[in-house]
């Protein structure tokens, strides 16, 4: 340890220098005004040394002052003689003064140091607690690690914590982890002095990882404190320092243990939080299941009821139906069966979207053909509305999964027919909007209340006051899933003139080979 | 009158009811239903509960506020609470979608027959199949043999025959027999119904008169048509 020695030596030199300066001052004063006993001036120097540098230098300065006074100012000059008993007294006073003031100053300094340390401890703990409050656990741990690293003046601080079966790790600082170092040693790469201290090439750490605090004296450069919770050790706080640093002190160990205790509390809190979250997720899932069941019971049964009523009617033995009536019943059966099939299709799509299993099979398609296809297929559904289609003729082909985008457009049009009163106009427009194709379906219905726009695309959601509108409330959820799967965006809003508009975009991108117009 | 927001169902019901000689009005919303009811004053109402805007339950309340017209609920809401709620509001019968057209027609006919011949409280003797209840002398006979009933059993039976072929919820029966302060003591009811069955039914396990409507309540079956269609 070079540095403390240098510091001690220099403080003794300063003590001697102070005495020399004071001797000079006394000599000058005596030149100008001959005063009897000026030796008390040395006390100033001794006091100054004692308060600044502590007891040892103070004593040295006291002795030096006595010798200097005797040598320079007491007859016979330039001779160390203590003939007069008064000089003995003088020496004694010097020494006692030096010792007492030195002692006082030293203890005062020690107290100040302790107070300062306490303050830093409190500040560190406070900071650590504040940083741990971050909702993102990994961010919190990284911040705490960085704070500990800065506070402890080490090169690297690591925290590992096991919370609810998951390992969380955070590190701050440049030295490679001890794991990597051990591996290095294990492979027998020769450590060289020149490499020490460089990030990633740190070498001198050999001790194996041991649980619990490691005695500061035995391990100067790697320091580990266990984080203990009710169920045993759940992690560690590890400090690493390159080998030129000082030893870890008892004080640092205590501080680190305080941090470890807080980390344990944090872990416990997160674990509880996780339990609560899991409960909440279960509850939501349960709610969703209930919603699904209700939706299924209502929206699958309604078409089923129509089908069964129609078949039951056809089977009435005591009634003779006209051909027209029979056809009507059969048509109703057909329509309702199709409706069922579309609901079931949407349900399946939604579950596939949620499972991430619905990957678009993108190929270039002509927009106008795509839109026309859907419109003509939906003729039955839109028969009670006036459907206006407007596709920009200059639109370049777009890379989409035809089946999926068909479904999106069909769902939006079907949605419009449900909410807009019969006889009103439904507009379908397609145009280019920057790097996107934008398709819009707008109606002249009651519009969407602003408060509900956000929830519209949630599964099983239906605009308020229209509980019985047919459909499970899946169409928009499926549309969103499919559009987002294409990298597009979908949103809803209201037309300034009244009525709602549903818009989705599909990105034009460098895409696979064109399939051309179909 | 048929009230349903599903055009296909309205159409099918209209066709069937007309084919069986009824005149049919229809409505697809609760508000329409109320105004149509005022206009037509129908003999019976087939009502869906899930209507746009106001709920079908509102329609029951509105109709019951001014008339005793039989109301048959026809809804996809199959939960017991929904059924009991509608019946407690005054609906007479309940069918869950999907339904059989035959059964619906049978129920409608039965309801209309009761409207045509109100029996409640007017006849001194109530008779159906082999069960006879002499309301004046509190005498009950099954196939001519007298059956001895306790006062509570008799009161319960009288509550049933006052509402023949109608689904009665536990709440209705408890209030009718035990008094207005009762309502949640359904187990009393189950015990007394079981006793009545032992005394009146040929086979208490397969009752002919006192049928259980699972989760909803009981139905006293007076007419063979109901007995057959609901089996």
Name residues whose C-beta falls within 8 Å of residue A103's C-beta, 6 or more positions apart in sequence. A55
Residue A473 banded pLDDT, cuts 50, 70, 90: low
Return the residue matching tokens 């109703």. Answer: A332
Measure A380 CA to nearest chain B CA, in Å: 14
Both tokens of residue B11?
A: 């159409």
Q: Give dist(CA A385, CA A67) in Å, integer.
A: 117
A202 or A108, which is more confident: A108
Q: Please report residues of A whose CB lies closer than 8 A to that of B5.
A: 468
Inter-chain CB proximity A309 and B99 less than 8 Å:
yes
The Cβ-side half-sphere exposure at B148, using a 13 Å CA radius, reads 0
Q: What is the pLDDT of residues A40-64, one digit of tens each?
A: 788 888 888 877 887 788 888 888 8
Inter-chain CB proximity A310 and B8 less than 8 Å:
yes
For residues A181, A186, A188, A191, the Cα torsion angle rounded to the nearest 10 degrees is 20
**A-B contacts (CB, under 8 Å):** 80
Q: Please report residues of B whose CB lies closer than 8 A to that of A324.
A: none
The DSSP call for residue A215 is P
Nearest to B98 among A301, A325, A469 (CB): A301
The Cβ-side half-sphere exposure at A400, using a 13 Å CA radius, reads 29
Inter-chain CB proximity B8 and A468 less than 8 Å:
no
Q: What is the pLDDT of residue A469?
A: 46
Q: Please report residues of A whose CB lies closer than 8 A to that of B6.
A: 302, 305-306, 470
Does A167 have pLDDT greater than 70? yes
Q: Please report residues of B whose CB lies closer than 8 A to that of A308.
A: 98-101
Measure A314 CA to nearest chain B CA, in Å: 9
Q: Please report residues of A whose CB lies closer than 8 A to that of B99.
A: 305, 308-309
Residue of A nearest to B99 (CA): A305
Residue A339 banded pLDDT, cuts 50, 70, 90: confident
Where along chain A do its domains lie?
A: 2-116, 135-274, 357-507
**Nearest residue to B34 via CA among B87, B84, B71:** B71
Both tokens of residue B88?
A: 């407690």
Name residues whose C-beta falls within 8 Å of residue A353's C-beta, 6 or more positions apart in sequence. A478, A481, A482, A485
Q: What does CATH list as the number for A357-507?
A: 3.30.565.10
**Nearest residue to B38 via CA among B27, B47, B49:** B27
Interface probe for A, chosen from B22, B76, B106 (most Cβ of A below 10 Å), is: B76
Inter-chain CB proximity B12 and A297 less than 8 Å:
no
In CATH terms, is domain A135-274 a member of 3.30.450.40?
Answer: yes
Nearest to B6 among A302, A313, A321 (CB): A302
**Nearest residue to A243 via CA among A276, A289, A196:** A196
Name residues whose C-beta falls within 8 Å of residue A322's C-beta, 6 or more positions apart in sequence. none
Name residues whose C-beta falls within 8 Å of residue A67's C-beta, 6 or more positions apart in sequence. A80
Inter-chain CB proximity A305 and B101 less than 8 Å:
no
Q: Give dist(CA A99, CA A93) in Å, integer.
A: 10
Residue of A nearest to B16 (CA): A313
Q: Please report residues of B whose CB lies closer than 8 A to that of A301.
A: 76, 78, 97-98
The DSSP call for residue A249 is P
Measure A138 CA to nearest chain B CA, in Å: 48
SS3 readout for A58-101: HHHHHHHHHHHHHHHHCCCCCCCCCCCHHHHHHHHHHHHHHHHH
Query: Are the C-beta atoms of B60 and B37 separated by less than 8 Å?
Result: no
Interface probe for A, chosen from B98, B107, B225 (most Cβ of A below 10 Å), is: B98
Q: Please report residues of B whose CB lies closer than 8 A to that of A325.
A: 15
Inter-chain CB proximity B11 and A328 less than 8 Å:
yes
Q: What is the pLDDT of residue A262?
A: 86
Inter-chain CB proximity B98 and A318 less than 8 Å:
no
Residue of A nearest to B14 (CA): A313
Measure B160 CA to nearest chain A CA, in Å: 31
Does B231 have pLDDT greater than 50? no
Pairing, β B2-3 against β B131-134: unpaired
Q: What is the pLDDT of residue A426?
A: 93
Q: What is the pLDDT of residue A200?
A: 36
C-beta atoms surrounding B148 within 10 Å: 9
Run of H or E including B210: strand B210-213
Both tokens of residue B108?
A: 């409608």
Identify the structural domains of chain B with CATH numbers, from first to last.
2-116 (3.40.50.2300), 125-229 (1.10.10.10)
Nearest to A301 among B51, B76, B101 (CB): B76
Q: What is the pLDDT of residue A1?
A: 43
Interface of A with B (CB under 8 A): 297-298, 301-310, 312-313, 316, 318-319, 321, 325, 328-329, 332, 335-336, 465-470
Inter-chain CB proximity B101 and A309 less than 8 Å:
yes
Query: Which residues sit opposite A207 in a β-bridge?
Result: none
Q: Please report residues of A whose CB lies closer than 8 A to that of B77.
A: 297-298
Ordered strands of the B145-147 beta sheet: B125-128, B131-134, B139-142, B145-147
Return the residue matching tokens 């030149």. Answer: A31
Nearest to A305 among B16, B52, B76 (CB): B76
Task: Give the residue-averaged pLDDT of B155-177.
Answer: 86
Inter-chain CB proximity A312 and B77 less than 8 Å:
no
Nearest to A306 among B12, B50, B51 (CB): B12
Task: Give the residue-averaged pLDDT of A364-377.
Answer: 88
Nearest to A297 among B12, B78, B101 (CB): B78
Query: Are the C-beta atoms of A27 and A38 separated by less than 8 Å?
Result: no
A484 or A513, which is more confident: A484
What are the angstrom distances between the C-alpha of A312 and each of A283, B75, B174? 41, 17, 38
Please, is A343 exposed, middle or buried when counting C-beta atoms within 10 Å of its C-beta (0-12, 13-18, 19+)?
Answer: buried
Q: What is the pLDDT of residues A310-337, one digit of tens each?
A: 998 888 888 888 898 889 889 889 888 8
Name residues whose C-beta falls within 8 Å of residue B138's C-beta, 6 or more positions apart in sequence. B154
**Nearest residue to A153 via CA among A262, A248, A219:** A248
* Cis omega (within 30 of 0) for bond into A510: no
Measure B104 CA to nearest chain A CA, in Å: 10
What ipTM score was computed for the predicted complex, to two decimals?
0.71
Q: Which of A56-70, A103-117, A164-178, B27-41 has the highest mean pLDDT?
A: B27-41
Return the residue matching tokens 């890379």. Answer: A399
Q: What is the pLDDT of residue A209?
A: 46
Backbone φ, ψ for residue A470 (5° rounding): -70, 160
Q: What is the pLDDT of residue A221?
A: 66
Query: Are the C-beta atoms of A171 and A145 separated by less than 8 Å?
Result: yes
Q: What is the pLDDT of residues B10-21, one digit of tens each?
A: 988 998 999 888
Inter-chain CB proximity B8 and A318 less than 8 Å:
no
Run of H or E including A286: helix A250-295
Q: Please report residues of A whose CB lies closer than 8 A to that of B3.
A: none
Inter-chain CB proximity A306 and B9 less than 8 Å:
yes
Burial A192-231 (b: 16+ CB within 10 A, else e): eeeeebeeebbbebeeeeeeebbeeeebebbbbbbbbbee
> How large is the C-alpha radius of gyration of chain A?
43
Inter-chain CB proximity A302 and B11 less than 8 Å:
no
Measure B65 CA to nearest chain A CA, in Å: 25
Inter-chain CB proximity B50 and A328 less than 8 Å:
no
Inter-chain CB proximity A297 and B100 less than 8 Å:
no
Inter-chain CB proximity A302 and B15 less than 8 Å:
no
Does B30 have pLDDT greater than 90? no
Measure B166 CA to nearest chain A CA, in Å: 23
Measure A336 CA to nearest chain B CA, in Å: 8
Name residues whose C-beta falls within 8 Å of residue A56's C-beta, 6 or more positions apart in sequence. A8, A11, A12, A102
Q: What is the pLDDT of residue A390?
A: 92
Candidate from A205-214, A422-431, B69-78, B160-169 with smallest mean pLDDT: A205-214
**Nearest residue to A477 via CA among A375, A372, A358:** A358
Residue A176 banded pLDDT, cuts 50, 70, 90: very low
> Apex CA B226: angle with CA B224 and CA B227, to 5°?
60
Interface probe for B, chosen from A299, A303, A309, A473 (most Cβ of B below 10 Å), is: A309
Pairing, β B145-147 against β B139-142: antiparallel
Q: What is the pLDDT of residue A191?
A: 37
The DSSP call for residue B8 is H
Nearest to B101 among A304, A316, A332 (CB): A316
């Amino acid at each position: 340890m070079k540095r403390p020695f240098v510091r001690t030596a220099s403080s003794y030199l300063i003590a001697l220098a102070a005495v020399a300066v004071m001797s000079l001052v006394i000599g000058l004063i005596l030149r100008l005004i001959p005063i009897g006993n000026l030796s008390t001036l040395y006390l100033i120097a001794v006091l100054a040394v004692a308060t600044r540098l502590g007891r040892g230098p103070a004593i040295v300065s006291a002795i030096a002052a006595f010798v200097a006074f005797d040598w320079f100012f007491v007859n016979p000059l330039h001779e160390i003689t203590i003939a007069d008993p008064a000089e003995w007294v003088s020496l004694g006073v010097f020494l006692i003064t030096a010792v007492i003031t030195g002692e006082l100053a030293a203890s005062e300094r020690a107290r100040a140091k302790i107070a300062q340390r306490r303050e830093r401890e409190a500040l560190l703990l406070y900071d650590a607690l504040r940083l741990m409050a971050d909702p993102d656990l990994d961010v919190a741990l990284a911040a705490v690690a960085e704070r500990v690293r800065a506070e402890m003046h080490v090169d690297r601080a690591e925290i590992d914590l096991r919370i609810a079966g998951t390992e969380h790790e955070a590190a701050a600082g440049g030295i490679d982890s001890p794991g990597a170092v051990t591996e290095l040693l294990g492979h027998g790469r020769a450590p060289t002095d020149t490499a020490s201290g460089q990030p990633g090439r740190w070498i001198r750490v050999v001790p194996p990882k041991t649980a619990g605090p490691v005695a500061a004296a035995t391990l100067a450069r790697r320091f580990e404190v266990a984080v203990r919770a009710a169920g045993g050790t759940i992690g560690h706080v590890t400090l690493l320092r390159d080998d030129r640093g000082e030893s870890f002190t008892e004080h640092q160990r205590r501080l680190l243990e305080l941090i470890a205790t807080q980390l344990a509390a944090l872990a416990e809190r997160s674990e509880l939080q996780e339990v609560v979250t899991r409960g909440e997720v279960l509850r939501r899932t349960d709610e969703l299941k209930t919603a699904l069941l209700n939706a299924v019971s209502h929206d699958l049964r309604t078409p089923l009821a129509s089908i069964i009523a129609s078949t039951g009617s056809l089977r009435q033995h005591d009634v003779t139906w006209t051909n027209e009536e029979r056809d009507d019943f059969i048509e109703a059966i057909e329509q309702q069966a199709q409706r069922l099939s579309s609901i079931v299709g949407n349900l399946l799509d939604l579950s596939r979207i949620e499972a991430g299993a619905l990957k678009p099979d993108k190929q270039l398609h002509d927009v106008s053909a795509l839109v026309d296809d859907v419109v003509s297929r939906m003729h039955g559904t839109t028969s009670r509305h006036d459907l206006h289609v407007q596709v920009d003729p200059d639109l370049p082909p777009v890379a989409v999964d035809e089946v999926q985008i068909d479904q999106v457009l069909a769902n939006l049009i079907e949605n419009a027919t449900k909410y807009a009163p019969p006889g009103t106009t439904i507009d379908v427009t397609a145009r280019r909007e920057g790097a996107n194709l934008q398709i819009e379906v707008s109606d002249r219905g009651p519009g969407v209340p602003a408060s509900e726009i956000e929830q519209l695309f949630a599964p099983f959601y239906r605009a308020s006051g229209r509980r019985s509108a047919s459909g499970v409330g899946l169409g928009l959820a499926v549309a969103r899933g499919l559009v987002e799967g294409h990298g597009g965006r979908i949103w809803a809003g209201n037309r300034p003139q009244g009525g709602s508009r549903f818009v989705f975009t599909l990105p034009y991108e460098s895409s696979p080979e064109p399939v051309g117009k179909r | 009158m048929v009230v349903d927001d599903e055009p296909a169902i309205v159409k099918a019901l209209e066709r069937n009811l007309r084919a069986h000689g009824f005149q049919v009005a229809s409505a697809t919303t609760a508000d329409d239903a109320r105004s149509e009811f005022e206009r037509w004053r129908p003999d019976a109402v087939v009502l869906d509960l899930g209507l746009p805007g106001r709920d079908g339950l509102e329609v029951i309340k509105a109709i019951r506020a001014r008339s005793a017209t039989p109301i048959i609920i026809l809804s996809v809401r199959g939960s017991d609470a929904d059924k009991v709620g509608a019946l407690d509001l005054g609906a007479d019968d309940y069918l869950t979608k999907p339904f059989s057209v035959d059964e619906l027609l049978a129920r409608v006919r039965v309801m209309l027959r009761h409207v045509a011949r109100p029996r409640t409280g007017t006849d001194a003797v109530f008779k159906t199949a082999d069960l006879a209840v002499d309301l004046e002398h509190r005498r009950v006979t099954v196939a001519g043999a007298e059956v001895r009933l306790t006062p509570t059993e008799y009161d319960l039976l009288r509550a049933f025959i006052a509402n023949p072929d109608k689904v009665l919820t536990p709440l209705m029966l408890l209030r009718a027999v035990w008094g207005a302060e009762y309502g949640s003591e359904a187990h009393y009811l189950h015990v007394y119904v079981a006793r009545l069955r032992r005394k009146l039914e040929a086979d208490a396990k397969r009752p002919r008169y006192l049928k259980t409507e699972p989760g909803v309540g009981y139905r006293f079956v007076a007419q063979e048509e109901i007995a057959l269609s609901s089996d």
